[in-house]
């Protein structure tokens, strides 16, 4: 599941005329950075939700051969991260699936991060497995950390602890956690907290450079980070 329905208000004025996932970094749209990562991990089908300027995204992904793109249409109402997933559940199936944010991407060092995430997944004890990164490996991030990770990978909120890790916009989720979920707009954060309480939220630290693009001034930073990573 690729979360691509947001309004991208912080990216204005660029997003006055295009949806944020179609902003290009190093010649490739943010959306394609994510879809290429899914393709490299062997994902055959990706559900992409759309809301703001949706026809542009629909037209853009029409050329892709892999993964096969299925559109989850949220034109009628923006549903936030969890609401968008709940709406798309009939398209996603009953097995655990990846979710990725369409405004972040990463340059892997070594084995692809999504492949490592899949190998780390343990459905017997996990409801959600988050891909994480540290502050030193992040470009474009300025709001502190999200989680502290125990030696076994279990997570709790970092409450800003600088030794913590950042949620890197990719995860594997057991769809069973959405049983009985509301159909309106709501955030994944509530499910993260539920999983923490149940001891079922885990993390895996990625290897490489993680890049988030939230504002226009983040674009040259992202371009420079890509160039540097490719030069190594």
Peptide bond into 13 cis (omega under 30): yes
Fold assignment, 2-231: Spore Coat Polysaccharide Biosynthesis Protein SpsA; Chain A (3.90.550)
Domain boundaries, the chain: 2-231
Q: Is the pLDDT of residue 188 over 90?
A: yes
Place 150 in a pLDDT band, splitting at 50, 70 and 90: very high
Predicted structure pTM score: 0.95
Sheet holding 68-73, edge to edge: 68-73, 45-50, 2-3, 97-101, 166-173, 128-133, 201-205
Neighbours of 177 (CB within 10 A): 18
Q: Is the pLDDT of residue 183 over 90?
A: no
SS (H, E, C) 202-229: EEEECCEEEEECCCCCHHHHHHHHHHHH
Place 160 in a pLDDT band, splitting at 50, 70 and 90: confident
């Amino acid at each position: 599941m690729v979360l691509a329905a947001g309004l991208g208000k912080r990216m204005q004025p660029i997003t006055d005329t295009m949806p944020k996932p179609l902003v290009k970094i190093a010649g490739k749209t943010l959306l394609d950075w994510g879809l290429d990562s899914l393709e490299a991990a062997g994902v055959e089908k990706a559900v992409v939700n759309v809301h703001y300027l949706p026809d542009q995204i629909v037209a853009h992904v029409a050329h892709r051969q892999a993964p096969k793109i299925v559109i989850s249409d949220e034109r009628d109402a923006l549903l936030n991260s969890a609401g968008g997933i709940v709406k798309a559940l009939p398209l996603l199936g009953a097995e655990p699936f990846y979710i990725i944010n369409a405004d972040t991407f990463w340059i892997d060092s070594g084995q692809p991060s999504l492949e490592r995430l899949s190998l780390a997944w343990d459905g017997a004890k996990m409801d959600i497995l988050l891909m994480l990164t540290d502050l030193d490996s992040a470009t474009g991030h300025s709001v502190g950390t999200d989680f502290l990770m125990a030696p076994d990978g279990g997570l709790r909120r970092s409450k800003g602890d600088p030794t913590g890790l950042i949620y890197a916009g990719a995860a594997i989720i057991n769809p069973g956690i959405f049983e009985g979920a509301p159909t309106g707009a709501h955030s994944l954060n509530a499910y993260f907290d539920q999983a923490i309480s149940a001891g079922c939220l885990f993390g895996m630290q990625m290897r490489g450079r993680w890049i988030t693009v939230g504002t226009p001034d983040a674009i040259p930073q992202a371009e420079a980070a890509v160039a540097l990573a490719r030069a190594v």
